[in-house]
Structure 1
Amino acid sequence: MRCANPGTDVSKDRIVQIAVLKVFPDDSEVIKKRLINPTIPIPVEASNVHGIHDEDVVNEPTFQKIAQGLLDFIGDSDLAGYNSNKFDLPLLMTEFSRCEIDFNLEGRHTIDVQSIFFKMEPRTLKAAYKFYCGKDLVGAHDAENDICATYEVLKAQIERYENVAYEEQDGKIIYPVKNDLEILSKFTPSNLLDPTNKIIYDEQQREIFNFGKHQGKSLVEVFREDPSYYDWMMKKDFSIFTKKVIKRVWESIHPLSDLDY
């Protein structure tokens, strides 16, 4: 099973495309795939990923129209997908819930292929050292051993990938791994705005919330519409980095405020 959706919040998003591959006990397969009208605009950022635009789904049925047929096709099958436990299944269950259909997982086995991949092919320094350098990391978690191994891995990555193409989400082909600090830094960006990632930049370089009920909204928008949220955050146990950012933004729109922290 695989779903494509307009955004990143499975509690609010809608399915724009679904594909279900049904495998029977005799190993025969039946696949069903279709576009779905989400009834809300599809963000450009999402379209750049899955290639589906508003005009592609304007004449397609809504999920409510296909819900019962999809439920009948799935039947009592077990369910598998890639990152499905965190994405596809919650999204699918939410869509069924909007149609007042109780899509119950009780009695079903659920298999997340990504989880198997991540557990069996760990992305630890020890695993990276073995993969890139062909050696076992002796004395892992000793600071000196770890940093020396990290440097060896970096050199091996540059050697391996220096002329290897990388396709970005918008389809652009780049060669991002070079023996160049600026190029490598651009390919592995850090959120220097707020290291705890509570506040991040969006594509327009606006400060936006990356958590909670205002996730995805700009700080300026929230602090204008809900000034109490600033007071709440400043009184809570957020990092000094987060508070420094929100205070700067708050003071830019409320320079004469009595809320001084």
Structure 2
Amino acid sequence: MAKKYIILDTETTGTGELDRVIQLGFMVLGEKKIEVQNEFFTTDVPINYAAMEVHGITPDMLEGKSPCKESASYKRLQELNTDENYIIIHNAKFDIDMLAKEGFKTQMKVIDTLRVAKHIFPDEEAHRLQYFRYKMGLYLDEQKEADELGITIKAHDAIGDVLVLKLFLSKLKEAVLAQFPTENPVEKMVDLTLTPILIKSFNFGKYKGKTLAEVAASDAAYLRWMLGGMDNLDDDMRYSINTALGV
């Protein structure tokens, strides 16, 4: 059976622990015809206004819809959930964690294009999908692609973002191949997704704007305090601090 590549995005009631998926959009690549899934869901959790401001999904749009787990698109995603397939998401942890609340546990190989982009384009001022949409001129090609697939383009809409991500993935794959010409670019993206990201400078706190190397030289005790005293320190920052300290 041919490998399939599932490019996916969700929209949710918010970003908190209790929030839930209200839109699931994905494309399935790997066969002659691209499959498109796009569906809205009802939920008992109200959409918070900050989320509504971003994606524009209002409660009336969800009236009469099925819950996520009972939907055709969710059931199709479960059918695709095998270890020979790949799931491709920008900021994958968020969407995978949200889908886990609906009972979905991915068996697919994960490509997080946000993490891959941070490895491949470390000096970009941002790594958001919409940033690359404009920086790489993806918006120039998206209408033609949307027309062919019957998709309406709208920023921060699940299937609209999937379309942009499909275009970005092609550019990212080219960049990965250029940097790692002897490796399979798809498998390299899986590998980079799992590889710690080396953070060069602080974007928060009293040393905002300073490089970790500078702080290691001037106030190594502060970095050691971060390692021992900050429970919410993510793995990438922990790795980067240890690197700066020469651990």
TM-score by length of 2: 0.44
Structure with more contact order per residue of length (Cα contacts < 8 Å, sep ≥ 6):
2
Bigger Rg, which one: 1
TM-score by length of 1: 0.41
Per residue, is there more helix in 1 or in 2? Answer: 2
